Structure 1
């Protein structure tokens, strides 16, 4: 039983962006090292309903995935924002991509600017507060991944398979339409970075980033060898932060795995507009409120509940 549960723990971590994989021959060494790794990457924040969410059986939860471009001496900005709402009762997960140029109020900074600036202004906490205000839903958990680590992660799992819907060349690599294999981390990074050659701009790039994340999840869930175990833990320790504890991850694999397998993907698209010489994506109140209501229903909360958690 412990062997089976640890495998699902790994897969759950991958789905939430932690990108750890499960392997075949488990022992105390792996179990102990996994716990220590999770403790290392833990980062506390002020979040809504965190204590309630996992400790009660089958309570819907929300998780914000932040792909950041941190470098030495530079906090960077959030290059990718994806909100997951996970409902174990409906056995479904909604995955919402938020374009980084979306114009909104930056909560705690008193400015109206691009949503990805929230991370540069106040880190994970300000990003969470800003997304909560923008969509009017509580965020229980976050997983922050350094986008540069995609290269190390893909190398650690030995390459991934993705679907590409646009033929293009970038960074010295050619990417045809269809199912393709990204053999190295460098190739995967090139695949996710291209933007100007795609008429969809950031939206197209977000689709490719999601393909890479899902490719790592699929590969991580099916690798049978333990030879890459230490390499992947090292990548996780160096590039990932989350407020999920080991016990909460364990609870997730027990109650939420069916929901995680059924993902409904959507993007919150806006209209491009220049304001004071700066390019933004403008999301209408109607579109934002419509999505907000769908997320509240999926989280099984009322509008009043969401407002009370602000």
Structure 2
């Protein structure tokens, strides 16, 4: 019997995500800065850029791109805009481990990751860039080198679907504690300077070793962090006494215990703060996703918040 759509993903669903690409502008259009690439547009390392136009300076623009001649003539600050060379390599790191095989609301975390990967993949092709990536989970990883072709994206989807469906057959988590850092290390070996890498993983994946690998990767690659979580990752339900069993191990939790609930909330808060601090330290975008909301709505909100001049 086929699993519900909220639990597993199908090739048809991944292909259909291309129809939702126009709903959120992840990459640049003619005469318009990309909301996604524009988050760290001033650090286009190893890529060719061509002058596009001059416009009035806006809050958030890189001061290094100010056109001082036009500014002096007009007595108003102006900045230069550039457009990026085509066919940029974009690499998706996609987690499909047992810890993602869970969801208390709209979809499982593993499904949300797959949907986001498909949406970004189709957006990349629509922007005439090269798309590739790595799917990693409890049974290892599968690498697809970036190419500008629909067939290459479908190859990535094939690995993604197999990894996603294998989660239903596994009874325990086999992913080593340092697996995420090892995958990041492997990705660094194949990523060319100037590439963009989008990290789609469980919020709980971040470790000290993984942070070190991300810091090294950020020196030559534009990174975007998309950690995924579920509301129950952040707060225990007020359900009373709960019992969990796995093989010979058993665990009993009283979710009405205030001390236990507060400790759980604080632990989740520290995880989120760790991602925020990493993002700020490395100067890379952080777009956390939750199973409790629609994917497109979340991405729209994130991109809007990163627009120049945005104020909360």
**Structure-1-length-normalised TM-score:** 0.25
The structure with more radius of gyration:
2
**Structure-2-length-normalised TM-score:** 0.25
Q: Quick one: higher RCO (CA 8 Å, sep 6+), 1 or 2?
A: 1
